Structure 1
Amino acid sequence: MVGAGLFTAAIVPLVRRLGLRWGLIDQPDPRKQHNEPMVRLGGIGIVLGFCLALFITWQLGGFGSLPASRDQLIWSTLLGGVAFFAVGLSDDLFQLPPLPRLALQIAVATVVWSQGVKIGSITLPFDSNLSLTLPDWLSLFVTVIWLVGITNAINWLDGLDGLAAGVSGIAAVGLLSVSFSLHQTGAGLLAAALAGACLGFLRDNFNPARIFMGDGGSYFLGFSLAAISLVGPAKELTTVSLLLPLLILSLPLADMSAVIMGRVSSGRSPFYPDRRHLHHRLLRAGFSHRRTVVLIYAFTQWFAAIALVAANAELRFLWLALATGVLIWVVVRSHRSQGDEPLDQGE
């Protein structure tokens, strides 16, 4: 985790300088929060920091003697993440239309499924020894929905400085803890590298941001979180193992679902850009940029703590959930009593 953070923190300023030199910037518009042109290629630093940390871990024998099947899942997850990053980077550079972008995501998710990153069976809750193998068509359908859905949930959350990186980092730490508690070492190391990359990126992305991750970065984070949960906690669909990543990622998934339903009910395309997201609603309610981000961080941590309680049934995670709940109450109470001036900086 530390290595990924240091690598990312060192690479991102270089990417920013190159982006400014080459004019690869995101212009402000009425739908966005930032008022100045910003480099939108920070995802390059996230991906490179993540990959370098994993490479060094692998060279040092950190993955141990994983069986060939588990080793393949690690490489499939890494290559799938790079492919999703390439799709997002293409959108950042060339403004791809929504449907071709979605088609590319589905194609990459299908290839990743064929390489073993999949939901392949359901273990019935009333008998842990009874497992139902999914037919290939159903396994493919469920896996693609999972991978593409979470990827776009993180992408749509990327609307304020530091929001997507912070939420993804918290979710990655949650998956790290759950993976090691379930003895999924490979998934745990992937989650640790992802958490470190998010933390390193926040150095230049937290409000006021100096660089944005772009669709390339958010696609990479979303896919990586989804894939790590498949090669770890949700490898088999059980009542508990599926609940854990769903709890950890419930906030971005709920936000995406609410936005889609709102757009469809208004007779618009699900891809129509608007300001229906949770962070937009909090800003309109008078929360400042930073307080909005911190509040969403706290909710994400609260859900992650509940997931850890479910996975470990240990008292310290229950105390973490309670402490996070108190933090949420304090932030909301402080806003109501003191008021808050919204800021207009951000992505």
Structure 2
Amino acid sequence: MGEKTKVLEQPLVRGALTFGTAAGVCLILGPVLIPILRRLKFGQSVRDDGPKRHLTKAGTPTMGGILFLAGIVTAVLVWAPLNPEVYVLLGITLGYGLIGFIDDFIKVVMRRPLGLRAREKLAGQIVLGLLLGGAAVWGLDRGSALSIPYFGYTVDLSYGYIFFALFWLVGFGNAVNLTDGLDGLAAGSILVTMLAYTFIAYSLDKISLAIFALAVAGGCLGFLVFNRYPALVFMGDTGSLALGGALAGLAVLTQTELLLLIIGGVFVVETLSVIIQVISFQTTGRRVFLMSPLHHHFELAGWSEVKVVRVFWTVAFILAVIGTAIFSL
């Protein structure tokens, strides 16, 4: 019995079990939950001004983020060394997921297409951002220093770090949400970024954070079975906001916030494309892209949905490798 326990305590074994548990829970729940969502008519509405091929997606069940959130929570509680950092990450992830769930519920059940009002959604995200920043500075001994990648410098932001963490959490939470516009795009991109964070956390001897990252990666892999093209279910804001919160939370607790601009570069570029499009149209009356976020631009340029997703996954993988290489220098 003692030998078995020692084997299970090995980081690689525990990591593999975490990944497998998160994916397995998702795979088991999928065939149960997806038909329920379909019977309840919790279907996705599709914008008329988007790519015409997306009109066939109307009615596809949404709120599927529940699947991988169940896998993540189960895997973390079973396999991760439970400590304040893990509880904070779970709280941020589930808190953002709850905001997304309420937004989805209002859209599909109450038939209010815009969901939560922007100020309502932002208010919840700000509260969670303040909690993350406060916990990082005062509760987790992370401190208020901001690390500059490659150069090895740090800048002490003092109490200003709390607001920086807030901005990072809100920014990346919504960046992943913007990226979730094609079948499998957000889940696959998060998967590779989480593998990068598994390496980073393990290198910092933060085993609990590495286990958490693997749980998210495993949950995304299990979800892709149902979310790859043609998707049987969408993650909805329930999933995309939760994944963005998890990603930003990991960056804060591993002190790699600025490095996340590279590791999560796909999400950064998607967000920038929206900002550029809005500013350009409001100032000049012209659009830089055929449509934003950027993945829709390539669709309207003639790329198939599968091609866009595969190219973005490849770019996400390359950026994750570059980011981990810079971290290792």
Give the TM-score normalised by structure 1. 0.78
> Closer, same or farther in 2 for the Cα pair 1:285/1:312, shift >3 Å?
same
Conservation of the 8 A alpha-carbon contact between 2:63 and 2:236 = yes
Which residues in structure 2 correspond to 1:285-324 (within 5 Å)?
Answer: 285-312=301-328
Q: Which amino acid aligns with 1:293?
A: V
Counterpart pick for 1:47 among 59, 63, 69: 69
Equivalence for 1:87: 99
Counterpart pick for 1:122 among 142, 146, 167: 146
Counterpart pick for 1:14 among 9, 15, 32: 32
> Closer, same or farther in 2 for the Cα pair 1:131/1:258, shift >3 Å?
closer
> Closer, same or farther in 2 for the Cα pair 1:144/1:125, shift >3 Å?
closer
User: Residue by residue, what CA displacement relative to the aligned partner does 1:160-195 show, whole Å, maximum 9, x if unpaired?
Assistant: 000010111111111111221232212211110000
User: Residue by residue, what CA displacement relative to the aligned partner does 1:175-226 show, whole Å, maximum 9, x if unpaired?
Assistant: 1112212322122111100000000000000000000000010000010011
> Closer, same or farther in 2 for the Cα pair 1:76/1:97, shift >3 Å?
same
Equivalence for 2:89: 77
Please state how far the C-alpha of 1:308 moved relative to its aligned partner: 2.0
Conservation of the 8 A alpha-carbon contact between 1:88 and 1:215 = yes
Partners of 1:122 and 1:29 in 2: how far apart?
Answer: 40
Partners of 2:208 and 2:229 in 1: how far apart?
Answer: 33
> Closer, same or farther in 2 for the Cα pair 1:45/1:124, shift >3 Å?
closer
Equivalence for 1:275: 291
Unaligned residue ranges in structure 1 (runs of 5+): 235-240, 269-273, 314-347
- Choose 243-252 or 23-32, whichever is displaced more: 23-32
Q: Which amino acid aligns with 1:175?
A: Y
Please state how far the C-alpha of 1:265 moved relative to its aligned partner: 3.2
Equivalence for 1:255: 270
Partners of 1:227 and 1:203 in 2: how far apart?
Answer: 26
Equivalence for 1:145: 167
What is the CA RMSD across the aligned residues, in angstroms? Answer: 2.3
Partners of 1:296 and 1:119 in 2: how far apart?
Answer: 35
Partners of 1:76 and 1:263 in 2: how far apart?
Answer: 35
Conservation of the 8 A alpha-carbon contact between 2:126 and 2:166 = yes
Partners of 1:9 and 1:190 in 2: how far apart?
Answer: 19
Counterpart pick for 1:265 among 280, 289, 305: 280
> Closer, same or farther in 2 for the Cα pair 1:31/1:210, shift >3 Å?
farther
User: Residue by residue, what CA displacement relative to the aligned partner does 1:6-63 show, whole Å, maximum 9, x if unpaired?
Assistant: 11121123221111122211133324524131111101111111000111104xxxx2
Equivalence for 2:206: 184
> Closer, same or farther in 2 for the Cα pair 1:218/1:131, shift >3 Å?
closer
Equivalence for 2:133: 113
> Closer, same or farther in 2 for the Cα pair 1:123/1:100, shift >3 Å?
closer
> Closer, same or farther in 2 for the Cα pair 1:47/1:178, shift >3 Å?
same
Equivalence for 2:260: 245
Give the TM-score normalised by structure 2. 0.82
- Choose 179-188 or 294-303, whichever is displaced more: 179-188
Equivalence for 1:172: 194
User: Residue by residue, what CA displacement relative to the aligned partner does 1:97-145 show, whole Å, maximum 9, x if unpaired?
Assistant: 22211121111211222222777113578996x8653221x11211011
> Closer, same or farther in 2 for the Cα pair 1:123/1:91, shift >3 Å?
closer
Which residues in structure 2 correspond to 1:24-39 (within 5 Å)?
Answer: 24-32=42-50, 33-35=54-56, 36-39=58-61
Aligned residue pair count: 289
Partners of 1:119 and 1:143 in 2: how far apart?
Answer: 12
Partners of 1:29 and 1:190 in 2: how far apart?
Answer: 35
Q: Which amino acid aligns with 2:85?
A: L
Percent of aligned pairs with the same amino acid: 27
Unaligned residue ranges in structure 2 (runs of 5+): 1-18, 107-114, 284-289
